[in-house]
Amino acid sequence: MDSRMLPTRFTQTNVGDMFIVRNAGNLVPHANLCGHEEITTEPAALELGCVINGIKHVIVCGHSDCKAMNMLHMMRNSDRTLQEMLKLSPLKAWLMRHGHSSAGKFAQLELSNFQAPLVFQAETPMRRFIAYIDPDNKFSEEDKLSQVNTLQQLQNIASYNFMRDGLTRGRVYIHALWFDIYTGDIYYFSRQQKMFVDVNENNMEKLEEEVLKYYT
């Protein structure tokens, strides 16, 4: 939702090249949290894009200084209930319900003094990938949480039954980008290197080889 994020500009794409869904916190609710009484836009957009329109690549793009992630970081140890949050703030309730897994992963990272890798589920329950979050310690805790959250959404996307066949058979692929709004740097999560990698002219060919090898 952040107006500082212009996906068509930093991806150098044209109108109609991408199907874009934006929301507060860059969150895709996990399938377990979407029942008959709570249907949200995000899974509906996934089904429209990937099942009906045949989109092959789903890219979750987080960014630095995300106001929603800043708020989630601030309230991550809150003892208020979801019902209490609903009365106070729809945004806080949304973050509490759908950012809970990201906050939990971030807590693991904190316990290791931001050194240990995190493990995320990939396209299927049997596939996992390892992620080192900001190993050079360039970013704030809030931005570290934003990167964790971006990767958590890959796991959430893969939780939907209607996505499973495409992900299992290689008809749909999921990726993670992270954008530094202050420097303009774009980071691609490399499963080979197990971290977000700054995309530049020095590593472009290597990253392209990884994408062509594993995601085509």
Annotated binding site for Zn(2+): 2, 63, 66
Which residues, including other chains, have CB under 8 Å from residue 196's CB and lie 6 or more apart? 133, 134, 147, 176, 178, 187, 188, 189, 190
Question: How far apart are alpha carbons 61 and 150 in whole angstroms?
Answer: 7
Binding residues: 2, 63, 66
Largest CA distance in the chain: 51
Amino acid, single-letter form, for residue 139? F
Tokens 């991806």 map to which residue? 11
Per DSSP (E only), the strands in the chain are: 57-63, 118-121, 128-131, 173-179, 186-190, 195-198
Question: How far apart are alpha carbons 4 and 14 in whole angstroms?
Answer: 18
Which residues, including other chains, have CB under 8 Å from residue 54's CB and lie 6 or more apart? none
Q: Are strands 128-131 and 118-121 parallel, antiparallel or unpaired?
A: antiparallel
Q: State both tokens at 42.
A: 């995000």
- 8 Å CB contact between 108 and 121: no
